[in-house]
Amino acid sequence: MKLLTRSRGPQLSDRLVWQAASLLLAYPDEQLEERLETVETLLTHIDGTAAGLLARTLAAVRAADPLTAATEYVETFDMQRRSTMYLTYWTAGDTRNRGREMLAFATAYREAGVTPPTSEAPDHLPVVLEFAARVDPEMGRRLMIEHRVPIDVLLQALTKAGSPYAHVVAAVCETLPPVTDQEVARARRLAESGPPAEAVGLQPFTLTVPPKPTGGN
């Protein structure tokens, strides 16, 4: 597939933001430096508020030593329920409905002509961002707009924690329509009460961002 080809719909600048954000939100493994160099290159073609926000996350991740970066990533996104990047967690929680909602993401990928990745859930924000940047910007934007409240919950949690990753999520929000008062209120309620509860699989378009390791760090 061609990388970031111009098409109708979302502007190329939005797609550049989404690709940079996907790379910055990936688990900081041994390819981290290579991804950061790619983000630096992308930033030469991005301007405005989003560029400044992405640059702040880039600087913070680059300044941390690899072990610290990996540890803080896991503590931020895996140990804190409110800062999960699995978007359907906030709309379906650990219920049977979540499988159906994840299937909607996988179906969108297949309809765009690619196979969902086997190494990561289809609703994981970096996966959605890369799909939007590289495969189908219109559908990718639609998926993010439909899950704008979970993205806003994530942004609130990262901001409250003082995480450098808050800036990259804020950059993504710059490419989406402004949140409504109703969405703000819903995000606040979700952050306070948590997702639905109950006691859920999929299968690859080839990702340039790595999945998180399944074992210990």
Q: Does 153 map to a domain? A: yes
Token digits for 77? 């996104």
Say if residue 103's pLDDT is above 80: yes
Instruction: Identify which of 12-26, 100-114, 191-205 has the greatest average pLDDT.
Output: 12-26
Domain that holds residue 47: 10-193
Q: Does 216 map to a domain? A: no
Q: Does 59 map to a domain? A: yes
Number of Cα atoms under 13 Å in the Cβ half of residue 88: 21
| CATH code for position 80 | 1.10.3480
Residues 9-55: tens digit of each pLDDT:
458 999 999 999 999 999 999 999 999 999 999 999 999 999 999 99
Q: Does 39 map to a domain? A: yes
Q: Does 199 map to a domain? A: no
Higher pLDDT, 143 or 82: 143
The single-letter DSSP state of residue 4 is T
Q: Does 68 map to a domain? A: yes
Q: Does 175 map to a domain? A: yes
Task: Report the chain's C-alpha Rg in angstroms.
Answer: 16
How many structural domains is the chain composed of?
A: 1
pTM above 0.85, yes or no: no
Q: Does 51 map to a domain? A: yes
Residues 175-194: tens digit of each pLDDT:
998 877 776 666 566 555 55
Coil vs helix vs strand at 86: strand
Residue with tokens 């490419």, as numbered in its chain: 175
